[in-house]
Structure 1
Amino acid sequence: MPHQPSIVTLQPRAGAASALLKALLEQRRPGHSLDAPFYLSDEVFQADMEYIFRRHWVFVGVAPQVPEPGDYVTVDVGADSVLIVRDDDMNLRAFHNVCRHRGSRLCQEHQGSLGNIVCPYHQWTYDLEGRLIHADHMGQAFLRDQHGLKKVHLRNLEGLLFICLADEPPADFDEMAQRLGPYLAPHRLEDCKVAAQVDIIEKGNWKFTLENNRECYHCVSNHPELTVSLYEHGFGYQPGPQNAEGLARFEQIVKERHARWEAMGLPSAQIEELDSRITGFRTIRLPLDRAGQSQTLNAEVACRKLLGDFSDKALGGLSVWTQPNSWHHFMSDHVVSFSTIPLGPDRTLVRTTWCVHKDAVEGVDYTVENLTAVWNATNDQDRHLVELAQAGAASSAYEPGPYSPYTEALVEAFCTWYVDRMRAGVSAGR
């Protein structure tokens, strides 16, 4: 029986559960932002990589990035480079991007296409299933079938790609997939193509990036492009006489649209699991304002060719959040996905990917400029806000401040999940 490439074994990192980290976790005050070392300390950052990014399902890309056999993408998570490739049978596979000879990195580009996987150092060659098929000068006793590429756990959730570097990944991914799948499936992300992808580096801790994403308290005063298509009352408001009428009207719109969309076979009701499980997630389909079609500068579709079998342009926006590092917006005409990867205590990669129907023609059905205008502007504004927060956390005057229970509940959910998962890592002694 041929030897199968094994899942890589991770070794515990010495000192990850330091006295500083334990003290910070013990003193975390619910309903408040985190203590400054969570954003500044290299020691905490290393623990983040060990307990969060090496032991949970991390969103890394979309299936349309690798549409054909031999297409690949690479993603770096800390010191680990992961290669995701589509094999000749159209299956997606993930491997450590490391040659089994002397450890050379195999694929150096973020994205490309290949026939076989060839090490640039000594030309050891692997097929698209990770088997070593060629290695010169290794002698008669050398067993190629014991030197295949090391696998990485990979899951494809209706076109959203997740990896896990742990020996045993969290088992609750199946439940998340079962519950989220019906929401995502009608948009048929697998039948899309990548129209644009933009990487930015935020000079801030990854947790500031996620906290900023998990609230829209800041949206009205900072995101004029994004708020064109968003109902203001959808951001979260403290109930009171001053906004009772507007809130009631918004709630009625949501009720009516949900009923219509559910009747069309589009699940819309909120699922809230951000801080109640290992693989945290949340989703809801909400109406969009004005034209109600898409997150564009005029709230109309950015692509004339709609996704899936859609004929109605005004299907609102299906928002999906996954812990620890992603958020997504699914609309009738396109999908926007965001992946957050820590680069250091004060540097974070934010990768934004826009997908449209695979048969849509650029310059005819859509323009990249119009498709990307809202989120290019919003990402740049959020980058500035994250960097302001990072600078503030370094001040001697910084102390954890209270979250609004109305507009920052999802920030608290993120921080609660993060602290719980870090405590679990520390208590396991790994």
Structure 2
Amino acid sequence: MTASVSAPQPTRGKLASSVSAEQLTEITELFQNRRLGYSLDSPFYTDPAVFALDMQAIFGTHWLFATSVAEIPEPGDYVTVDYGPYSLIILRTDDGGVNVLHNVCRHRGARVLTEASGSTGNLVCGYHSWTYSPEGELIHASTPGETKFDKNCFALKRAHGQIRAGLIFVCLAQEPPTDFDQVAEIFEPYLAPHDISRTKVAYQQNIIEEANWKLVMENNRECYHCDGHPELACSLFPTWGLSDESVPTHLEEVWKRNKQAQASLEERCRRYGIPFKVVEELDTRIAGIRISRESLDGDGESFSPDGHRLSKKLLGDLRDFRLGRCSMHLQPNSWFHFQSDHIITFAVFPINEHQTLVRTTWLVADDALEGEDYDLETLTHTWKQTNLQDKAFVELCQKGAASPVYEPGPYMLSEYQVEAFLNWYTQRVLEHLA
């Protein structure tokens, strides 16, 4: 399903006025001189001017994952999300689509909606009660004796929004990148069997990580550090990202078990007509993607100590719990795990050059009952712990990147997706600068 709003007003194509021409030249050279196969130079992670550029060239230009229909299932339901300096209202419409509005009152700039989520009819700014329709039109802004003005000129500014396979994406650019529809056509058949429209939110975790958003994404794109995730390693094979040629000796037995489990998984997928093959275009298109269906260890059903299901209710029209996980990475700010019994979405919201909000949301079947069909603590335990461990890892990297003695180090073979993410990122920023 797709729902779009009218084209937004263009955002500025320049960096903030506080960035001088000399600084912009230095930043451009920084991107042009990036060393392939190595981590980024310190300013990429620490410089406020680079962060300002990221907000324009990446978050102000590309399609971003924001939320899912499970969070705003009914007309009038909304969530507010922030990407650096941008604040957006994402509002479910009567026809099942979404309106995406900048959360900035056209009177004096106050936040119109201040809660993270809720339900509303008209949108009323709490400062001076300017009132907007769900489409953002100004419908009330007068008091006795005031000079009349044209309300049509003061609607809330709009952004693009669309729903694909139950996931909601937004774009702040006047004209969004053109290949997102093609990417959606890739991932929709993988996600359709899980039917997000028939799920509900079981739990949502918000963590502020004291690190640059790129370090958060880099950490997610590799499993070289997965020895640091003991809970996750119970069900996620720690050989992710490896190949026959690169498996270390101590993981040979695990690698063999993984290949056997993957073969069994693929046989079941063929039986049910569920796609499973790897599609990997992380840095070869504007809307970078990697998606596949991969085996889990143990019972092969879910992220639990023995790989057993964590909810008794199957999602959508699935007929088998033993379907591993459908894993999807989308540039620039999201990743997802779709199991037969529940879904986990991850969204990254930059705050500033050294802070990032990571939002994790667990979805279960809309008729699943807590305490009967699933235990909330058991459902969320593995990824709660994993997220806290990742928070510690990326914060160590942020501290290191700020050190005067830091210099970029080489990526290992298993970190090729980190390199792909940075290739994508630098390409997109250089295109913006050009």
Is 1:69–2:70 an aligned residue pair?
Answer: no
Is 1:225–2:226 an aligned residue pair?
Answer: no
Q: 1:346 to 1:24 in 2, by over 3 A?
A: same
Secondary structure at the aligned position of 1:234 is classed as coil
Give the Cα separation in 1 of the matches to 2:36 and 2:196: 37
Give the Cα separation in 2 of the matches to 1:43 and 1:148: 31
Q: 1:6 to 1:48 in 2, by over 3 A?
A: closer
Equivalent pair of 2:235/2:304 in contact (CA under 8 Å):
yes
Equivalent pair of 1:84/1:95 in contact (CA under 8 Å):
yes
Q: 1:245 to 1:394 in 2, by over 3 A?
A: same
Equivalent pair of 2:223/2:238 in contact (CA under 8 Å):
no
Partner AA of 2:361 in structure 1: T
Bigger Cα displacement from structure 2, 166-175 vs 95-104: 95-104
Give the C-alpha shift of residue 246 in structure 1.
5.4
Deviations 1:116-143 (A, max 9, x none): 1112122222222223333323879644
Is 1:57–2:58 an aligned residue pair?
Answer: no
Bigger Cα displacement from structure 2, 372-381 vs 341-350: 341-350
Deviations 1:242-281 (A, max 9, x none): 4667545533432342232133121110000111111111
Give the Cα separation in 2 of the matches to 1:23 and 1:182: 41
Q: 2:277 aligns with which of 269, 273, 279?
A: 269
Partner AA of 1:307 in structure 2: L
Secondary structure at the aligned position of 1:7 is classed as coil
Is 1:179–2:177 an aligned residue pair?
Answer: no
Give the Cα separation in 2 of the matches to 1:130 and 1:240: 55
Give the Cα separation in 1 of the matches to 2:247 and 2:158: 55
Give the C-alpha shift of residue 240 in structure 1.
6.4
Q: 1:415 aligns with which of 413, 419, 422?
A: 422
Equivalent pair of 2:261/2:296 in contact (CA under 8 Å):
no
Secondary structure at the aligned position of 2:239 is classed as helix
2:25 match: 19
Give the C-alpha shift of residue 5 in structure 1.
6.9
Is 1:319–2:327 an aligned residue pair?
Answer: yes
Give the Cα separation in 1 of the matches to 2:209 and 2:109: 31
Equivalent pair of 1:5/1:150 in contact (CA under 8 Å):
no
Give me the identity figure in percent. Answer: 46
Q: 1:140 to 1:265 in 2, by over 3 A?
A: farther
1:343 match: 351
Which structure 2 segments of 5+ residues have no match? none
Matches within 5 A, 1:323-334: 323-334=331-342
Partner AA of 2:98 in structure 1: L
Is 1:116–2:122 an aligned residue pair?
Answer: yes
Q: 1:5 to 1:56 in 2, by over 3 A?
A: closer
Give the C-alpha shift of residue 145 in structure 1.
3.6
Partner AA of 2:238 in structure 1: E
Give the Cα separation in 2 of the matches to 1:224 and 1:6: 47
2:139 match: 133
Q: 1:230 to 1:143 in 2, by over 3 A?
A: same
1:169 match: 176
Q: 1:264 to 1:101 in 2, by over 3 A?
A: same
Q: 1:35 to 1:305 in 2, by over 3 A?
A: same
Equivalent pair of 1:338/1:352 in contact (CA under 8 Å):
yes
Give the Cα separation in 2 of the matches to 1:214 and 1:410: 5
Equivalent pair of 2:342/2:364 in contact (CA under 8 Å):
yes
Q: 1:157 to 1:5 in 2, by over 3 A?
A: closer
Give the C-alpha shift of residue 83 in structure 1.
0.2
1:157 match: 164
Secondary structure at the aligned position of 2:110 is classed as coil
Q: 1:18 to 1:260 in 2, by over 3 A?
A: same
Give the C-alpha shift of residue 144 in structure 1.
3.3
Give the Cα separation in 2 of the matches to 1:241 and 1:386: 25
Q: 1:6 to 1:392 in 2, by over 3 A?
A: closer
Secondary structure at the aligned position of 1:18 is classed as helix
TM-score relative to the length of structure 2: 0.92
Matches within 5 A, 1:15-414: 15=19, 18-137=24-143, 142-220=149-227, 222-237=228-243, 238-239=245-246, 242=249, 247=255, 250-405=258-413, 407-414=414-421
Give the Cα separation in 2 of the matches to 1:374 and 1:244: 25
Deviations 1:396-415 (A, max 9, x none): 3221111112x101111111
Partner AA of 1:73 in structure 2: V
Q: 1:66 to 1:162 in 2, by over 3 A?
A: same
Secondary structure at the aligned position of 2:240 is classed as helix
Count of residues in Structure 1 that have an aligned counterpart in Structure 2: 422
Secondary structure at the aligned position of 2:200 is classed as strand
Give the Cα separation in 2 of the matches to 1:227 and 1:244: 15
Give the Cα separation in 1 of the matches to 2:364 and 2:252: 38
Give the Cα separation in 1 of the matches to 2:128 and 2:407: 54
Secondary structure at the aligned position of 1:82 is classed as strand
Equivalent pair of 2:223/2:239 in contact (CA under 8 Å):
no
